[in-house]
Chain A
Amino acid sequence: MASTLFDKIWQSHVIATTEEGDTLLYVDRHLLHEGSRTPIEKLDDLGLGIARPGQTFGTADHYVPTAGGLDSLAADQRRMVEIFDTNMDRFGIRAWRLGTGRQGIVHVVGPELGLTLPGTILVCGDSHTSTHGALGALAFGIGASEVAHVMATQAIWQRKPKAMRILLHNDLPKGVSAKDVILFIISRIGVSAAAGHVIEYAGNAFSAMSIEQRLTVCNMSIEAGARAGLVAPDETTFAYLKGRPFAPKGADFEAALAYWRELRTDEGALFDREAVLDASEVAPMVTWGTNPGMAVPVGQKIPSFAMAKSADEQKQWQQALDYMGLEAGAPLLGVPIDQVFIGSCTNGRIEDLREAAAVARKGRAKVPALVSPGSGTVRAQAEAEGLDRIFIEAGFEWRGSGCSMCVGMNGDLVGFQKRSVSTSNRNFVGRQGVGARTHLASPALAAASALEGRIADVRTYL
């Protein structure tokens, strides 16, 4: 019978299935960050250790400072980083700590070090684990209790999600980024459309994307409610993996390649849901509300209430606009902003920084603009290319690596009722700080907005 890629990866990891449909799945890779504190306390309470420390990797990201050392943090923030270091030592887990060259956001570090491989199951206690699906892995976020379970057993109980395919045909217009693609998709299908499903992104728009672009798309699968998102591995994937520090080497790489080439959805395989979209309709996007589905092309106006599908939706829009300090039917272009954030597991990779720098070099920031490369590796590459100089000369701040202002847990916050253009993934109420008003956008659009001090159309800078 014809199977989907998701079926194949799932099936190849089944340890046991109960009569009622609970499946015990094997986990190839488990990635940790400072949030591993609570699961490890649970293990300690149970008197258990980590079953497969060699398949477990850690990097500090949620609480690390992006300016100054650990001393710049509040005591309880610093404690999170210190406990992480202690725990990684205690269990003999390979980890990248603050101040070491490769430390960074777990979803940037995993792929770039070759920890994320096609056909594997990878989990992490973070919802944006869907990112890793860009390499053809089945990767999903789990909660702290499940993290403890994977630590103790290297396995996880799951119900099999359904399969969804998002087909994006035709070519993307010039000046449109992967971030615009995923914001476009979510604005069309909705923030819960893919709940209970694993999305496979297919069609020539995705085939033509680099791995970094696919990582951006898969990253925000969770914002459409998906359990995971993935792209079938292809020559672009294999070329990306070759030579990565933890990717197979030599004869092992050849053996892996033979396996990876089989990893694709069979002709005629059935999906439970399918959405077909036209890439030529994608434009630079920006969000106007308090979830990632509330997004429009930057040149368009905020929807008017007459466009709401129901009274409930109208009420949601009203609440979102009240929070955002905006009005229905008003233009977004030109709305004054207070700050810009470029970074995160969505848009903190080298290609993102190149796109932002290409715009930043054309002017000078009128509002504070923080650039946080997604990892030490990205930062070093950017500095080798001189991108740091471009940002600094344009008045942007060049910072260290971590989750930073995407979630503000390290103190990088947007102020009360201040407006940011951010390359991160969530514009939820209070996400970037109490009362913070977040507009999600691509790195280039964020950089353009920094230069103008207002929401800007990136296309005038291309």
Chain B
Amino acid sequence: MKPFTIVEAVAAPMRADNIDTDQIIPARFLRTPRKQGYAGFLFHDERFDAEGNENPDFVLNRPAYRDAQIIVAGRNFACGSSREGAVYALADYGIRSVIASSFSDIFFNNALINGLLPVRLEHAQVEQILDLLEAQETGVVVKVDLVNLQVRAGDLAFGFRLDGLKRRCLLEGLDEISLTLTYASQIAAFEDRHYGRLPWLKRVGEAAPEA
């Protein structure tokens, strides 16, 4: 995983609540092998018309936001389907961080595991950033700092929270699986207790008939 420490880049404003993962990546693209890249699928049906030409009004197609690496959105960003393709599309396109008032729980985890930083701010703070971005003809550079847990945009500076395992893995570019494998003895000890208490739970599946 690509580590995340500090990103300073143009931020694209998407002033909307409930931007769902079906919009971020329509389902028909999810059968594409991961290694082929997902950049072209990001917001596909809004970004392109039926002939595949860019929709000039879509925010990421506007000249000011061509180099955006940050998206600023409203409440409940990436709700709906758990499809991790939404994160792949954002990351492959070059988005490093999404700032929003809230995120769906599944997307929040998916993003962190893939080096995309979801930053939760108060809705009023998000609106101040959106106001700032929309007031300029050109792209505004926003700084997202995971080391100091701070977002800076113009004169605005807001702290955000992210701690524990996910932050550590993101800062260091670590994969959780390798960390969890070091817990093998705790997992085995847990299973001894769990199935000692609920022996029938272990037998379910083992003794059950094949379909």
Binding site for B on A (CB under 8 A): 12-13, 15-16, 18, 20-22, 24, 26, 28, 35, 38, 41, 46, 48, 54-55, 57, 63, 76-77, 79-80, 94, 96, 100-102, 113-115, 117, 120, 125-127, 141-146, 148-149, 152-155, 157, 159, 161, 191-192, 195-196, 222-223, 225, 227, 245-249, 252-253, 255-256, 259, 291, 312, 316, 407-409, 426, 428-431, 434
Contact = CB atoms under 8 A, between A and B. Distances in A.
A408 to B, nearest CB: 6
A191 B204 contact: no
Contact of A149 (B32, B87, B103, B177): B177
Given A142-B106, A195-B76, A227-B105, A22 B165 contact: yes
A99 to B, nearest CB: 12
Given A26-B194, A434-B26, A152 B177 contact: yes
B180 A149 contact: yes
Interface in B111-150: 113-114
Interface string B73-96: 011100111111001000000000
Contacts of A312: 17, 74
B18 to A, nearest CB: 6
Interface stretch (B5-13, B57-65, B152-160, B195-203): B195-203
8 contacts: A142-B109, A143-B113, A154-B187, A155-B183, A225-B104, A428-B20, A429-B23, A430-B45
Given A15-B183, A16-B186, A155-B183, A79 B207 contact: no
Given A192-B76, A426-B80, A246 B204 contact: yes
A21 B11 CA distance: 32
Contact of A247 (B20, B113, B165, B204): B204
B186 A127 contact: no
Contact of A409 (B28, B79, B198): B28
Contacts of B200: 248, 252-253, 255-256
A235 B204 CA distance: 20
B191 interface: yes
7 closest A-B pairs by beta carbon, nearest first, are A143-B110, A20-B164, A252-B200, A192-B76, A144-B84, A143-B84, A127-B82
Contacts of B74: 312
Contacts of A76: 31-32
B82 A142 contact: yes
Contact of B177 (A18, A153, A161): A153
Interface in B1-40: 16-18, 20, 22-23, 26-28, 30-35
Given A191-B18, A192-B76, A430-B23, A20 B211 contact: no
A409 B113 contact: no
Contacts of B51: none
B177 A148 contact: yes
B176 interface: yes
A153 B187 contact: yes
B22 A191 contact: no
Contacts of B27: 407-409, 431
Interface residues of B, number: 65
Given A249-B207, A426-B22, 9 more contacts: A18-B165, A115-B205, A145-B176, A225-B105, A248-B204, A408-B27, A409-B31, A426-B81, A428-B22
Contacts of B181: 152-153
B164 A22 contact: yes
B209 interface: yes
A41 to B, nearest CB: 6
Contacts of B205: 54-55, 57, 94, 115, 246
A12 B181 CA distance: 21
A127 B80 contact: yes
A364 to B, nearest CB: 32
A316 B16 contact: yes
A179 B163 CA distance: 39
Contact of B187 (A26, A28, A409, A426): A26
A54 B23 CA distance: 36
A325 B209 CA distance: 51
Given A143-B87, A143-B109, A24 B180 contact: yes
B84 A26 contact: no
B207 A96 contact: no
Contact of B76 (A144, A191, A256): A191
Contacts of B211: 94, 96, 100-102, 113, 245
A428 B80 contact: yes
B109 A54 contact: no
A245 to B, nearest CB: 6
B102 interface: yes
Contacts of B206: 54
A252 B204 contact: yes
A249 B204 CA distance: 9
A93 to B, nearest CB: 11
Contact of A127 (B17, B81, B203, B208): B81
B30 A146 contact: no
B194 to A, nearest CB: 6
A252 B175 CA distance: 39
B104 A46 contact: no
A414 B104 CA distance: 27
Contacts of B106: 127, 141-143
B17 A316 contact: yes
B84 A192 contact: no
A260 to B, nearest CB: 10
A149 B34 contact: no
Nearest to A431: B22
A235 B5 CA distance: 53
Contacts of B164: 18, 20-22, 159
Contacts of A94: 205, 210-211
A245 B209 CA distance: 7
B80 A245 contact: no
Nearest to A34: B31
